Structure 1
């Protein structure tokens, strides 16, 4: 009987433990003072807790232990993020984080700090880490498994650094190329953004947040951030309800369904409404319609900016009241304690209820619990640091290779023979920063001295493959000599490396997409030499080059390809790798003519009859999905499993593809659907699926796409999917076939 009673007791305790996580959190909340609760909602940057207030100079700063003690023990802040200027070694990160967590153990409730970081394309604030291509380049690969590999590698390196919360992925849809955060997006198509974003979230979190190979994701920036009316960062956007739901909210819905733990909010406003002060967006849409149950955090200083920038709050205290009552859980303050002080006043005045505070604190503590911080707040006992491993370098190389997009190859000027004499010129030729872009060991990423010696420039990589490479450029992007042109030796071809230096956020604001005039002048001098010119573009957004395109023999777009980018570029130029990247955006011909591939039919009308007024319709430099190869591919046929479908049905699209060229290669294949007529003016076409085929010379294969009736819907102004009967067109590699929805 005693044994029986003991067994029942053990089973009861076991079952109780399985269901007690929420109870433990509620019990902890009941023990916490209102001051400690508000501290949990406060997030500070490590730079504020350092010896130097100038946080953005890219210089390493010492941590001020007295400031840190004040933050952790006096204010009991819930989260700290960022580095204090530039990247640290993994070992230094361990020391910082362990010290912070040891300080929390001296507090009454011993609540650990949740440390966060912007690891946007690799462990970007850990020295000697692997940096992958920025998202805009990853989107050009159309390779979901490869994207998952980059995310897994990022998670391993971030977790190896002792950090468990990553402010990634970016799910803003890149439809305004002036916007300086365009490189962080997956391009202009919501399906592409949704698919890749969901893959990253799943890769970060699918092993469970307590796993040493996982991090908590933070999808951002909800919503409409990426299409500011003036193209400048953190400014206002004006978006119709239809476009808002179909383009900008959709990727967040997919990521939430994939298990995203947290979300960061748009720093700007949509239709005059700052998102971080909107009960409609944060509660009605995000919580109620999208079903998000995780942590909502602001971006940098965004609550106080309801007063200073958006002007919807007459005082800082009113800004705090608006944001918290709208649904914000944590404020990235991040440089002082006014949020804490003002929120405490608001609670004492009854303008924010303690129940509302408890809602946010519960979500913060829940994330900490899911990450295992209560069980083990210190840096985990890692068998070995997984920083820049051979596997990660291989993933970085493959992702950079697959991203590179061949835009022009006149008379098969590419690939280049290693026996030819090559002159390499241009500001991008001897710069690691232009290859890696923003969030690369510093916020801006433009400090060449911060990069590991193992990172190669384009010149380094080319010289490693050929003894016939000549260059006189100096290290760095902005060195004056890099804009000079000298032709002294016998040269067979010129490799001209142009594009952009690294930039992030507001410092990357430009007023014109046209490539810098000094670079255009350098290109014109190279063209005038009558030596064949091959243009290599390392840039995060499409810079206008229409004045030189016709006179350039070959053009490759490498985006911002990361730490293995130079090697990947050299592989493509010399033919050791056959390029397969396809544009994730429409590359405009003119800076004032930004039209996306999914335009409305009226945008193609070229003449206003009976007048003689005409204009160009869709006339980009290169369309969305464009990308050449060193071989040729042919779509032999398209077949459908059925000619008619109805609501709830699915169909299979079969396509036969052949490599008709003389060398092996890969081809990204996009599938589009067009609706001939709809109650809301239909798009020209919409991307609904994609895949990649690898074919040897002369080889053919049959591929298939599974489509459901949902793929034939559109989203209305309330976010509802609408399915209408009619004729639809399925398009693959410019071939079309019709299907009827009955």
Structure 2
């Protein structure tokens, strides 16, 4: 039986398990966020140094410390001019635009920015800057670095000491390139497996995340009272505060709708241990909590994190995340700063944001005390880390260790992590382990595909543009198998499609998800067969030929693979193992003498679905019914036989409309744009997911979520009697889209602000005239307030030849303050059964 220590923070968990009742917990209603143990990081010397620096800084110099540009947009001259407190490289950028830049090139760039930041000839400041990077699973943006398994795989190891060593190894490789600061660890507790960042979560269980957060922070930063922030140790970041793994429907940057106790006990677990370990920075989350963006949430950022918890480091925003806060845009955001954001990650609009923030401080919109608090926190971390005493990056003691970068010890550590992360789900007929002297066929899309086994956040952001050449020091899974089989005298054939000349003794099929990261990683179905039916066909082909078949499944989350399991004799969940593919061979192959090299150790840190609709399947849930429960994992001593699994789906496939023309379905179709029809009938396109009408006040557009991240748009009319309309249009004539047929413009719409004033939705419009239109208000029959509703408007309405003149496909107008969100806009020949249909008038 599982033994746990339950505290007041465990109350919601106990209630969900039926062991306690909220009705008897009057004394437990006060939410206490305080740490059980405060890190002993305070230093009078550090505080005196910080106050001396702060006392001599101008408003301009203080604000510059709070702005973080990105190297794809930042020049050395701009750093010299403003003296920004930090800068970053995003997932798709490297020094001088060179994706394959070597260690010395990264060091050279670090030197240039460091020297420019301490040059006081223009800005009067000599405070050194800091470089931040997403070292997500190793120093993962850098060509040739060691890539460890993604967090979901590490969660399966149940080995906090291993996680600490990975943190140390990553810190050494980051140090070797001259970078001071790592945007890791991610301490999200993923609760819905549709989330595109699920692989960044160690576990659905907050206890595992809590253990690991402490371990990896101590690995990166060192241990308080011992080697804290000394030598190769870097500044760590606990992210993303808070609730990023709990959004509704697993939509990245979505809304986490839970009470405060659950927010603390489930999603806060990793922060408590990271903060107790002395983590120096916390990154705020894109998501909202019960409808309010965390980046503008003063209660969470200031009252809870800084005041109750006692965090004395700094809070950094995520990439341009400030723009989603009400009243903000890319170039100004007093609301986020006043809520508690200390460093604004502003990749490309940093100059405008800097100047506007200075003006807002001088006008009193942002209190001087808030700026002083933010800069105090930034300087405190810089002084603690010893930035003022360290030389330029290339001359620091830790950067003299070129051998740390992709060190042999790090590769061995990576292989160990792969071995311990593998979870054996099935091993009928004891097919595993395999003799290396056998005739082995290695097949599947992932067999010799390092990009697939590395996943997203590997050399590039999404990881989709990578080839094996982008991983010069890595070993594919096939290469790892080949090395051992050849050495033992066996025979191995690589054949992606499973073809062969001589029937093999056994087939190893490596397949799974293609690389993805945030934004593009969200899914709506757990059915792996929906995105890859070819792998099942390959497995069935081998199975039908009587070839013992071992599946090695690469994925960033548990998926419904009942069909694939049924045609596999053995099935291994390998997650996203990173650069050391040989770790797979170490476990599934015997040695040359027939002995087991390494047994399976991995245990599921995420429950595995029995059905395709089990999106939220978590330990202790009511009606918990997984195929493989949390903690499951066979070993070579296990004698469990997996029978045939149910292959019947419970979710209907999305009907494909053969005659459908998507205009804005998840993304804009080519040639289309959102924009505004201004008072003079001029059409103003909007570049990006947000924008404002030309007068900067009448109508605004902001991205919202329907089923994917930013797949919808929200339009707000801020004043009455405006003649500015929101539009969806394209440059080419629209007449060709209808061809005289009766078609419908179908879309999802939502009233989200309890505004009763109507919004007129027109289709095929020329200036203010439209061929068909409908007045929508919250009281419209069939429209549910706050929900997404399907609307279909007939477009084949001939109205004084407007069809021939129309340049706007969709036009939204309101004569009063109003708000309407819209998504999934497409031309269809037949509306869906759920649609509110508007025929021609």
| Same fold by TM-score greater than 0.5 | yes
Write out aligned runs for 1:99-110 (5 A): 99-107=112-120, 108-110=124-126
Distance 1:619 1:327, change over 3 A: same
Q: Which one of the candidate residues 261, 284, 289 is aligned to 1:270?
A: 289
Structure 2 equivalent of residue 79 of structure 1: 86
- For residues 391-445 of structure 1, give each alpha carbon's deviation from its aligned partner in whole angstroms, at most 9, with x where no partner exists: 2122111111111111111021111112222211111111011221222222223
The CA distance in 2 between the partners of 1:339 and 1:149, in whole Å, is 39
**Residues 87 and 442 in structure 1, CA contact (< 8 A), matched pair in contact too:** no
Q: Does 1:88 align with 2:109?
A: no
Distance 1:316 1:132, change over 3 A: closer
Structure 2 equivalent of residue 111 of structure 1: 127
Structure 1 equivalent of residue 167 of structure 2: 151
Structure 1 equivalent of residue 59 of structure 2: 34
Q: Which one of the candidate residues 600, 604, 628 is aligned to 1:583?
A: 604
Helix, strand or coil at the partner of 1:80: strand
Distance 1:265 1:546, change over 3 A: same
The CA distance in 2 between the partners of 1:134 and 1:78, in whole Å, is 30
Q: Does 1:429 align with 2:437?
A: no
Q: Does 1:47 align with 2:66?
A: no
Compute the displacement of 1:472 (Å).
4.7
The CA distance in 2 between the partners of 1:394 and 1:254, in whole Å, is 28
Helix, strand or coil at the partner of 2:390: coil
Distance 1:569 1:504, change over 3 A: farther
Structure 2 equivalent of residue 341 of structure 1: 355
- For residues 63-116 of structure 1, give each alpha carbon's deviation from its aligned partner in whole angstroms, at most 9, with x where no partner exists: xxxx3212x122221111114363532211111111111112321230111111
Write out aligned runs for 1:188-337 (5 A): 188-205=204-221, 206=223, 207-208=226-227, 210-306=229-325, 312-313=326-327, 320-336=333-349, 337=351
Q: Which one of the candidate residues 405, 408, 429 is aligned to 1:387?
A: 405
The CA distance in 1 between the partners of 2:264 and 2:201, in whole Å, is 18
The CA distance in 2 between the partners of 1:501 and 1:395, in whole Å, is 25
Q: Please, what TM-score do these two structures have when normalized by structure 2?
A: 0.65
Structure 2 equivalent of residue 414 of structure 1: 432
Structure 1 equivalent of residue 572 of structure 2: 556
The CA distance in 2 between the partners of 1:517 and 1:232, in whole Å, is 25
Helix, strand or coil at the partner of 1:194: helix
**Residues 450 and 471 in structure 2, CA contact (< 8 A), matched pair in contact too:** no
Distance 1:251 1:154, change over 3 A: same
The CA distance in 1 between the partners of 2:244 and 2:551, in whole Å, is 32
The CA distance in 2 between the partners of 1:509 and 1:556, in whole Å, is 23
Write out aligned runs for 1:332-731 (5 A): 332-336=345-349, 337-379=351-393, 380-382=396-398, 383-385=400-402, 386-446=404-464, 447-467=466-486, 468-473=490-495, 482=496, 484-515=497-528, 516-574=532-590, 575-600=596-621, 603-604=622-623, 618-632=624-638
Structure 2 equivalent of residue 651 of structure 1: none
Structure 2 equivalent of residue 725 of structure 1: none
Compute the displacement of 1:625 (Å).
0.4
Compute the displacement of 1:525 (Å).
2.4
Compute the displacement of 1:39 (Å).
0.8
The CA distance in 2 between the partners of 1:129 and 1:193, in whole Å, is 25
Distance 1:37 1:234, change over 3 A: same
Q: Please report the RMSD computed on the Cα atoms of aligned residues, expressed in angstroms.
A: 2.1
Distance 1:396 1:452, change over 3 A: same
**Residues 558 and 569 in structure 1, CA contact (< 8 A), matched pair in contact too:** no
Helix, strand or coil at the partner of 1:230: helix
Q: Which has the higher contact order (CA 8 A, sep 6+)?
A: 1
**Residues 298 and 328 in structure 1, CA contact (< 8 A), matched pair in contact too:** yes
**Structure 2 runs not aligned, ≥5 long:** 1-41, 591-595, 641-841
Structure 2 equivalent of residue 69 of structure 1: 77
The CA distance in 2 between the partners of 1:494 and 1:548, in whole Å, is 14
Rg larger for: 2
**Residues 539 and 560 in structure 1, CA contact (< 8 A), matched pair in contact too:** yes
The CA distance in 1 between the partners of 2:238 and 2:73, in whole Å, is 25
The CA distance in 1 between the partners of 2:569 and 2:437, in whole Å, is 19
Helix, strand or coil at the partner of 2:572: strand
Q: Please, what TM-score do these two structures have when normalized by structure 1?
A: 0.74
- For residues 570-598 of structure 1, give each alpha carbon's deviation from its aligned partner in whole angstroms, at most 9, with x where no partner exists: 54244422111101110112231235343
Distance 1:546 1:113, change over 3 A: same
The CA distance in 2 between the partners of 1:415 and 1:390, in whole Å, is 27
Compute the displacement of 1:294 (Å).
0.8
Distance 1:414 1:315, change over 3 A: closer
Distance 1:21 1:537, change over 3 A: same
Distance 1:241 1:24, change over 3 A: closer
Moved more, 79-88 or 175-184: 79-88
Helix, strand or coil at the partner of 1:568: helix
**Structure 1 runs not aligned, ≥5 long:** 1-16, 50-66, 307-311, 474-481, 605-617, 635-742
Q: Does 1:129 align with 2:145?
A: yes
Compute the displacement of 1:628 (Å).
0.7
Moved more, 391-400 or 201-210: 201-210
**Residues 236 and 272 in structure 1, CA contact (< 8 A), matched pair in contact too:** yes
Helix, strand or coil at the partner of 2:83: coil
Distance 1:354 1:595, change over 3 A: closer
Structure 1 equivalent of residue 181 of structure 2: 165
